[in-house]
Amino acid sequence: MSYKKRFGDRKDAALVRDIDGMHYVMPLLFPGRTANEAFISEMIDLSKLNDFLERKNAEGSDFRYTFFHLMVTAMLRVITQRPLLNRFIKNGSLFHRDEISASFLVKKRLSDTAGEGLAIVRAEPSDNLDSIHEIIKKQIRLNRSEEPDRSSDVMDVLASRFPRFLSRFILRVAVWLDTHGLVPQSLIETDPYHRSVLLSNYGSIRLQSGYHHLSNWGTTSIFVTIGEIKPRPFFRSDGTFEMKNSVDIGLTIDERIADGYYYAKSVKMLKTLLENPELLEDTMDTPIRPEKRRPSEQ
């Protein structure tokens, strides 16, 4: 987003000035993000997933498409279409983020002692699944190389070069700066908690999705967990069932930035994208066609 900064704006966001009384008062009455969490769980029918991934991977990419790549793309697409999800509350005020971005941690190796790196994906209106997949590929390969990321460098310096009391003082100053929108841009660019959404792929380590807290540090208002893909029965109205691949996802959200109806419609949009993955080949700014209703629901 390109605009002239005004007094009250942050380095990474614009102050929302035209708001109703409720959204003006709520951040003052309920100041902490972690005290205003709501959790939403959803089961996704992945019966179309295997065929879609098989087709995409047959195109010859040297980096295989996975469900996680679809999940990242779908979340970025939903946030593009549902702009209130790209807001956050800091120091009692509501802000709209300058960019749409997602972050996730990358395990350098599957071992207890292996370190973690940070991947950040920034979306433009012209992006789609293929371009997001390419960004993820570069981020993962960079993190699994020997080159450390800058956010890890900062934490390593605090842990190894400063006495504990000084590290605590530095971090308290950082929290104060973050609260007042004064954190250096270099920190914002590399911190996972200054993103539109933070994702955790529990399924990659054979865990189920579930609740994960938000953080008062940073500005992230949405945390998504993704469980393990597994077959389960889908029941018909006559009591018969069909086994289909499925996945559970969990979304922890800051309930102050939008109302329940807005969140419900956004989750339905996310479900539509994931259950019809060919829609992710459209660009971020392409309107998402509504899900067709079954005759029994009309």
Q: 221 and 236 in contact (C-beta within 8 Å)?
A: no
Give residue 130's pLDDT: 98
pLDDT category at 147 given cuts 50, 70, 90 is low
Mean local confidence (pLDDT), 60-65: 94
Give residue 4's pLDDT: 79
pLDDT over 70 at 33, yes or no? yes
Give residue 44's pLDDT: 97
Give residue 10's pLDDT: 95
pLDDT, greater one: 169 or 70 = 70
- 103 phi and psi, to 5 degrees? -135, 155
pLDDT over 90 at 150, yes or no? no
CATH architecture assignment, domain 20-286: 2-Layer Sandwich (3.30)
pTM above 0.85, yes or no: yes
pLDDT over 50 at 293, yes or no? no
**pLDDT, tens digit, for every residue of 71-115?**
999 999 999 999 999 999 999 999 999 999 999 988 766 556 556
Question: Which H, E and C letters describe the chain, residue by residue?
Answer: CCCCCCCCCECCEEECCCCCHHHHHHHHHCCCCHHHEEEEEEEEECCCHHHHHHHHHCCCCCCCCCHHHHHHHHHHHHHHHCHHHHEEEECCEEEEECCEEEEEEEECCCCCCCCEEEEEEEECCCCCHHHHHHHHHHHHHHHCCCCCCHHHHHHHHHHHHCCHHHHHHHHHHHHHHHHCCCCCHHHHHHCHHHCCEEEEEHHHHCCCCCCCCCCCCCCCCEEEEECCCEEEEEECCCCCEEEEEEEEEEEEEECCCCCHHHHHHHHHHHHHHHHCHHHHHCCCCCCCCCCCCCHHHC
pLDDT over 90 at 149, yes or no? no
pLDDT category at 295 given cuts 50, 70, 90 is very low
pLDDT category at 66 given cuts 50, 70, 90 is very high
- Lowest mean per-residue pLDDT among 11-15, 155-159, 176-180: 155-159
Give residue 143's pLDDT: 81
